[in-house]
Structure 1
């Protein structure tokens, strides 16, 4: 229960900060990453091996996606904070959940952008952190997916 409370609180805080500043600070994302490894050393949400592999897999996938976007478009699409936040979520949820985290976050982002476009408020610079936070929260609350 304490792990879920800590993770849920941090997801809310990081989503709020990203919405306000378009930044995900290292002083919050890196300790969240380490806390995921610590909680999962006892197998709270995933086995220790799944937690380590989840952090590495999420970091690798999101870093690669950001690098490919930068090569393709000539500008950043995912910042370093998004990559570290994804790695933190991967360490909490474990590697089997990382593909679902990527899918859910992308779908949430597209839906949010579509809703904003309906009301003429869409921007290419929409922060991705809140989408990651919501995707991570949904996966935390439904571990059977």
Structure 2
């Protein structure tokens, strides 16, 4: 599933995220979280692009680790996960599952894989419910641009159609990291991360 190239690219992303977090003045626990999240989302992106599959071994551990990171980011002595993150870990997958359910009723086939549903649970655990719309908006916008470019490139040969599979996780994973990181910098600057 993962290969050496995936590991190298994930390591580069993790190191870059760590340096960016340190340069942004983020606390050590947030720096470690950024390193983990960058590596994991990079691995998910690469595998989904190549195999149209989001590996459970990458996405499922990210759910409890996101809840733990959210708890540790509060900086209090007691361990309690913010309601915002619990809600995100539940509402995100419920929303995507409902979208797929209704799509299946209309089109008689799945429109999303369950890997996307598990990945949005991890996204919700890390970013919280209030940031999920921003993650989805960024991921959908990036996917639409990619599809438009792919269509333009292949228009004379084998144009993409309504049944062409799109690796949505390859857009959702980077969007998760970008929005989470922006929220961390906002918190460090004293801004409201729920935009």
TM-score by length of 2: 0.69
Q: SS in structure 2 opposite 1:42?
A: helix
Alignment-derived partner of residue 97 in structure 2: 63
Extract structure 1 runs of 4+ deviating beyond 3 A: none
Alignment map for 1:100-111 (pairs within 5 Å): 100-111=134-145
Alignment-derived partner of residue 34 in structure 2: 4
- Distance in 2 between residues matched to 1:51 and 1:70, nearest whole Å: 29
Alignment-derived partner of residue 175 in structure 2: 135
Bigger Rg over Cα: 2
Quick one: which of 87, 92, 96 aligns to 2:130? 96
- Distance in 1 between residues matched to 2:95 and 2:139, nearest whole Å: 13
Cα shift at 1:30: 0.9
Residues matched between the structures, number: 143
Alignment-derived partner of residue 56 in structure 2: 26
The two structures, once aligned, show a CA RMSD in angstroms of: 1.5
- 2:153 is the alignment partner of 1:113: no
Structure 1, unaligned stretches of length 5 or more?
A: none
Instruction: Tell me, yes or no, if the aligned pair for 1:57 and 1:98 is still in contact at 8 Å.
Output: no
Q: SS in structure 1 opposite 2:54?
A: coil
Deviates most, 72-81 or 133-142: 133-142
TM-score by length of 1: 0.91
Cα shift at 1:75: 1.1
Alignment-derived partner of residue 75 in structure 1: 109
- Distance in 2 between residues matched to 1:106 and 1:79, nearest whole Å: 15
Q: Which has the higher contact order (CA 8 A, sep 6+)?
A: 1
Structure 2, unaligned stretches of length 5 or more?
A: 1-30, 75-80, 184-192
